[in-house]
Copies of this chain bind each other. A is one copy, B any other.
């Protein structure tokens, strides 16, 4: 299991800190990387507190002292998480907003990586393995995720399709039967139309899988759900990253299915890969 990242711990604890400690926390979270390179005096000055306050802050987070804290912070940064609550500012340059967006995405991925239920993943892989037929449903931005899922899963020699048209989805859901898997992808899990279609699919006796927000209406009507908790983007400039998390989870599921199929299945995948060769210019190097 992954240990919770120091930066996340700090931002979680932010409300529980007293005045000067939270000042320190904010300065560190604003630019953790530069924090690892600065002295206790510099950090104290930046946070407008005294040096011992910085020291006390470090000890609160189970560090021996300031140098030890910096070390732990540096390690936390490597695992991919930087600029946690650095929002894009209206006057940001390319060189600022580019890493911020990457880091925001990376941060969300790391969070879901540590939170996702492995037993749920296993359950979903089970359902997908047993499926006679798989439908990936999504609308709007999730439609692209569903399309990508189709592209991954057709390799398993199963009847797979994706649909981003709600009328089509509704008709297919109503004709479902035992052994069919309807895989719903939705960021909010609150789109009425989608929830209704999931209910129809469920009523038809099919398996309904929801890749969506926990406790959402869609989650409630699903047979199995994969919970994805990604912070709502309050910031106007910050993109929605749930799509990307969804894609990675579908990668995980596809890998799970491949592994279950065993090594005998690899030649089939190889064949598909090779089929594309004649469409490409050969590599010179």
Chain A residues packing against B (C-beta within 8 Å):
1-2, 36-37, 67-68, 70-71, 74-75, 77-80, 82, 88, 90, 92-95, 97-99, 101-103, 105-107, 109-110, 112-113, 116, 118-119, 121-122, 125, 140-141, 143-145, 147-148, 151-152, 188, 190-193, 195, 217, 236-239, 241, 243-244, 247-248, 251-252, 254-256, 258-259, 262-263, 266, 269-270, 276, 279-283
Q: Which residues of B contact A147 (CB under 8 A)?
A: 143-144, 147
A116 CB to closest chain B CB, in angstroms?
7
Q: Which residues of B contact A141 (CB under 8 A)?
A: 148, 151-152
Q: Which residues of B contact A110 (CB under 8 A)?
A: 80, 102, 106
Interface of chain A: mostly helix, strand, loop or mixed: helix
Whether B90 and A106, one on each chain, are in contact in the complex, defined by CB atoms closer than 8 angstroms, is: no
Whether B113 and A281, one on each chain, are in contact in the complex, defined by CB atoms closer than 8 angstroms, is: no
A97 CB to closest chain B CB, in angstroms?
5
Whether A121 and B94, one on each chain, are in contact in the complex, defined by CB atoms closer than 8 angstroms, is: yes
Whether A248 and B244, one on each chain, are in contact in the complex, defined by CB atoms closer than 8 angstroms, is: yes
Whether A71 and B74, one on each chain, are in contact in the complex, defined by CB atoms closer than 8 angstroms, is: yes
Q: Which residues of B contact A243 (CB under 8 A)?
A: 148, 247
Q: Which residues of B contact A191 (CB under 8 A)?
A: 279-280
A255 touches which of B70, B71, B101, B283 (Cβ 8 Å) = B101
Q: Which residues of B contact A75 (CB under 8 A)?
A: 74-75, 77-78
A239 — nearest CB in chain B belongs to which residue? B251
A113 — nearest CB in chain B belongs to which residue? B102
A247 touches which of B99, B151, B193, B247 (Cβ 8 Å) = B247
A88 touches which of B97, B107, B259 (Cβ 8 Å) = B259
Question: Known interface pairs A78-B75, A97-B259, A121-B98. Does A254 touch B281 (Cβ–Cβ under 8 Å)?
Answer: no
Whether A97 and B255, one on each chain, are in contact in the complex, defined by CB atoms closer than 8 angstroms, is: yes
